Amino acid sequence: MIDAARRMLADGRRVVSFSGAGLSAESGVGTFRDAPDGMWANYDPARLASPEGFAADPKLVIDWYAARRRTVGDAQPNPAHLALAGRGDILHVTQNVDDLLTRAGADGVISLHGSIDFDRCHAGCGHEERVDMTDPPGLRDCPACGAPLRPAVVWFGEPLPSSDWLDAEQACRDCDVLLVIGTSAVVYPAAGLIGLAKSAGAGIIIVNTHQSDASGLADVELLGKASEVVPALLDEPARPR
Ligand code: APR
């Protein structure tokens, strides 16, 4: 199976990677839906990752993100991040809000669900600033308009950043191989990119520890840990874009 996937990658001219929380799991950044310790098994996403939850208890939300920020700040890219970053010919689209792929050296990562290492104005005045992940801020106001600042991530019920979404859609429509890594493929619209690539004629390679909602779309599905399987897949030299 892995040889078939490597051949697809070797023949691919426009390869896109599409990743989820499983890519960063071995860096110590928890996933959301893996039982028993997936984040949403222990925390209520409606209370912690939604505008309604923020309105109801902003301090609870900001304190929870502060803990996540420390975790991400202490985390290091794993061999899967490094292998992906080492392939300048692959365009990376991620659902992850951590910066591990960028810290591994990848350029131009499209982060569909935002970036946990930034705060932005909740009222949308445009103010945005990087935060210190080792000493994350508490609840505070936007210096530009006085509204609350909140993590620059996409909460449930919020739209994805339109330019990132359009770029990701175009990349998945144009690619000839989509390498899907560590996602349950249950959160839309992001998960819809896999079907979009498939219907546009791309070959689909999935790397995941378990079967997912995208398994039926896979041309090759490799069940294993990202840090082991992805380097084995990608150790070919990069080609110019
Ligand atoms: N290597 C490969 N795959 C892994 C690993 C690993 N080490 N560990 C877990 N997985 C797989 C799990 O089997 C699961 O299918 O990664 C997937 C993680 O799925 P989720 O926890 O649902 O995360 P994700 O798909 O990224 O969630 C999508 O949901 O909560 C929102 O905004 C959040 O971006 C997130 C979105």
Ligand 1 near 116 CB (within 6 A) = no
The alpha carbon of 3 and the centre of ligand 1 are apart by a number of angstroms equal to 25
Q: Which of 118, 113, 117, 120 is nearest to 100 (CA)?
A: 117
Mean pLDDT on 145-152: 98
For a ligand 1 pocket test, name from 17, 26, 33, 100 the mutation site with the most ligand atoms within 8 angstroms of its C-beta.
33
E strands, 14-106, where? 15-19, 90-94
pLDDT digits (tens, 9 = 90+) for 115-135: 999 999 999 999 999 999 999
Q: What is the pLDDT confidence band of residue 163, given thresholds at 50, 70 and 90?
A: very high
Ligand 1 near 115 CB (within 6 A) = no
Active-site residues, by number, are: 113
The number of beta carbons lying within 10 Å of the beta carbon of residue 59 is: 10
Residue nearest to atom 21 of ligand 1 (CA): 32
Task: For Cα atoms 123, 128, 132, give the angle at the middle one, nearest 5 degrees.
Answer: 125
Q: What is the pLDDT of residue 201?
A: 98
The alpha carbon of 234 and the centre of ligand 1 are apart by a number of angstroms equal to 21
- In the sheet where 114-121 sits, what is the strand order? 128-130, 114-121, 149-153
Say what the pTM is.
Answer: 0.96
Choice between 235 and 151, residue whose per-residue pLDDT is larger: 151
Q: Rounded CA gap, 15 and 12, in Å?
A: 6
The number of beta carbons lying within 10 Å of the beta carbon of residue 144 is: 13
Among the ranges given (36-50, 94-108, 193-207), the one the predictor scored with the smallest mean pLDDT: 36-50
Q: What is the pLDDT confidence band of residue 240, given thresholds at 50, 70 and 90?
A: low
Ligand 1 near 215 CB (within 6 A) = no
Q: Which of 122, 112, 37, 27 is nearest to 72 (CA)?
A: 27
237, pLDDT greater than 80: no
For a ligand 1 pocket test, name from 47, 98, 156, 208 the mutation site with the most ligand atoms within 8 angstroms of its C-beta.
208
Ligand 1 near 111 CB (within 6 A) = no
Quote the DSSP letter at residue 215: G
- Average pLDDT, rounded, for the chain: 95
The alpha carbon of 146 and the centre of ligand 1 are apart by a number of angstroms equal to 35
Q: What is the pLDDT of residue 39?
A: 78
6, pLDDT greater than 50: yes
The alpha carbon of 86 and the centre of ligand 1 are apart by a number of angstroms equal to 22
Helices (H) and strands (E) in the chain, counts: 10, 9
Ligand 1 near 30 CB (within 6 A) = no
